[in-house]
Structure 1
Amino acid sequence: NATVSKEVEFGVCTVTCGIGIREVILTNGCPGSETKCIVRVEECRGPVDCGWGRPISESLASVKIPCIFIPPENRFTYVWKMLIPDQQSLILPNDSAILEVHRDTHPVAFQCDTRENNELIASVKYTVYTTAELETRRLRRPDTDIVLVFVLITGVIVCVGVIFALIFVILHWGAVKAFWASKIGKGSREEQSSSQGSRIASGSALASAPTPTPSPSQIDTTGQEEEHFPEWNN
Structure 2
Amino acid sequence: MRLRRAGAVGELQLFVGLLLALLAKKPASSLNASASAEDVPVNEPAVELVDSDANVTEPKEVEFGPCTVTCGIGIREVILTSGCPGGESKCIVRVEECRGPADCGWGKPISESLASVKIPCIFVPPEDRFTYTWKMLIPDQQSLILPNDSAILEVHRDTHPVAFQCDTSENDELIASVKYTVYTTAELETRRLKKPATDIVLVFVLITGVIVCVGVLFAIVFIILNWEAVKHFWQTKIWRSREEVIHSSYASRTTENSAQVPTAENSQTSQLETSGQEQGVYQEWNAEGGEN
Shorter-chain TM band: 0.5 to 0.7
Matching residue of 1:162: none
The structure-2 alpha-carbon separation of the partners of 1:111 and 1:8, relative to structure 1 and needing over 3 Å to count, comes to: same
The C-alpha deviation readout for 1:36-78, integer Å capped at 9, x for no partner, is 1110000000111000000011111111100010011111000
The C-alpha deviation readout for 1:5-51, integer Å capped at 9, x for no partner, is 11111111110100000000111111113211110000000111000
Q: Please, which of 68, 75, 78 is the counterpart of residue 132 of structure 2? A: 78
Equivalent residue pairs, number: 160
Matching residue of 2:103: 49
Matching residue of 1:119: 173
Offset at 1:100?
A: 0.5
Map 1:31-70 → 2, pairs under 5 A: 31-70=85-124
1:104 maps onto 2:161 in alignment: no
The structure-2 alpha-carbon separation of the partners of 1:142 and 1:119, relative to structure 1 and needing over 3 Å to count, comes to: farther
Unpaired runs of 5+ in structure 1? 152-186, 198-234
Map 1:5-20 → 2, pairs under 5 A: 5-20=59-74
The C-alpha deviation readout for 1:164-206, integer Å capped at 9, x for no partner, is xxxxxxxxxxxxxxxxxxxxxxx98972437879xxxxxxxxx
Question: Aligned partners of 1:91, 1:196: CA distance in 2, in Å?
Answer: 99
Unpaired runs of 5+ in structure 2? 1-49, 52-56, 206-243, 255-292
Structure 1 runs (4+) deviating above 4 angstroms are 145-148, 187-190, 194-197
Matching residue of 1:22: 76
1:4 maps onto 2:4 in alignment: no
1:141 maps onto 2:195 in alignment: yes
Larger radius of gyration: 2
The letter for the 2-side match of 1:110 is F
Q: Please, which of 173, 190, 193 is the counterpart of residue 250 of structure 2? A: 193
1:94 maps onto 2:148 in alignment: yes
Matching residue of 2:186: 132
The structure with the largest helix share of the pair is 2
The letter for the 1-side match of 2:187 is E
Question: Aligned partners of 1:188, 1:23: CA distance in 2, in Å?
Answer: 77
The letter for the 2-side match of 1:191 is S
The C-alpha deviation readout for 1:104-163, integer Å capped at 9, x for no partner, is 111100000000010000000000011111111111128828959xx9xxxxxxxxxxxx
Q: RMSD across aligned C-alpha pairs, in angstroms?
A: 2.6
Matching residue of 1:225: none
Question: Aligned partners of 2:151, 2:177: CA distance in 1, in Å?
Answer: 12
Question: Aligned partners of 2:68, 2:166: CA distance in 1, in Å?
Answer: 20
User: Match of 1:193, SS?
Assistant: helix
User: Match of 1:12, SS?
Assistant: coil
Question: Aligned partners of 1:143, 1:33: CA distance in 2, in Å?
Answer: 57
Larger RCO: 1 or 2 (CA < 8 Å, sep 6+): 1
Give the TM-score, by structure 2 length: 0.51
User: Match of 1:81, SS?
Assistant: strand
Question: Aligned partners of 1:145, 1:22: CA distance in 2, in Å?
Answer: 37
Question: Aligned partners of 1:192, 1:63: CA distance in 2, in Å?
Answer: 81
Question: Aligned partners of 1:33, 1:117: CA distance in 2, in Å?
Answer: 43
Matching residue of 2:265: none
